Structure 1
Amino acid sequence: MKDVRLDPEEESTYECFGCGTVVSASAPGTCPDCGADMRNRRTPIE
């Protein structure tokens, strides 16, 4: 497995914890549809 260098300026795919909306942005913060928290899909959830 390789480590991926993350560039904070690079757009990533984010998914909403609440409604599942997927957006491509550079750290959207909250979901544009429901206002819930977003997660970077490149970061694994354990």
Structure 2
Amino acid sequence: MNIIDIIEKKKTKQILTKEEIGFFIDGCVKKTIPDYQISALLMAIW
């Protein structure tokens, strides 16, 4: 699993799984996902 796949999935209006959401939150907390990718996913969600 990687953040790019999750961003692409959300950009195409697909529903994220619990595992994908957990991966994203974990990456935010541990700072393993760059800010620009966090921003990209949040914009795709909005």
Structure 2 length-normalised TM: 0.27
| Higher fraction of strand | 1
Structure 1 length-normalised TM: 0.27
Q: Which structure is higher in RCO with an 8 Å CA cutoff and minimum separation 6?
A: 2
| Higher fraction of helix | 2
